Amino acid sequence: MKTAVARLGSQGQIVLPKEARDHLGLNPDDMVIIAIKDGVLQVTAKPKKYSDHIRGLGRDFWWELGGGEQFNRREKGSWE
């Protein structure tokens, strides 16, 4: 985990340190998502396309089920 320190300005604004911007691949005018949970602030780059961002989610779940083909065979077998 990398950490960086930023100062909170009088208007409540922060400037993301260069190291953080570089790590997230942020450029001027890019959008970020700020998530807050249990007192922790998480800043992530807003994806250009959400479909690209979520591609591959659940992949581990499918492997635990034996992959798509095996899952489909089991499901079709349960129909009979």
- Show the domain range for 80: 49-80
Which tokens is 22 given?
């570089």
Same domain, yes or no, for 19 and 54?
no
Give the domain CATH number at 19.
2.10.260.10
Same domain, yes or no, for 5 and 34?
yes
Find the angle CA(41)-CA(43)-CA(48) to the nearest 5 degrees.
Answer: 150
- Looking at residue 34, what DSSP letter applies? E
Same domain, yes or no, for 63 and 80?
yes
pLDDT value for 65: 73
Cα–Cα distance, 77 to 48 (Å, whole number): 41
- The per-residue pLDDT string of the chain (80 residues; one tens digit each, 9 = 90 and over) reads 778 889 999 999 999 999 999 988 999 999 999 999 999 988 888 888 877 767 777 777 777 777 778 878 888 888 87
pTM greater than 0.85 (yes/no):
no
Q: List Cα–Cα distances, 19 to 4, 22, 50, 59, in angstroms.
A: 8, 5, 25, 31
Which tokens is 57 given?
């989610």
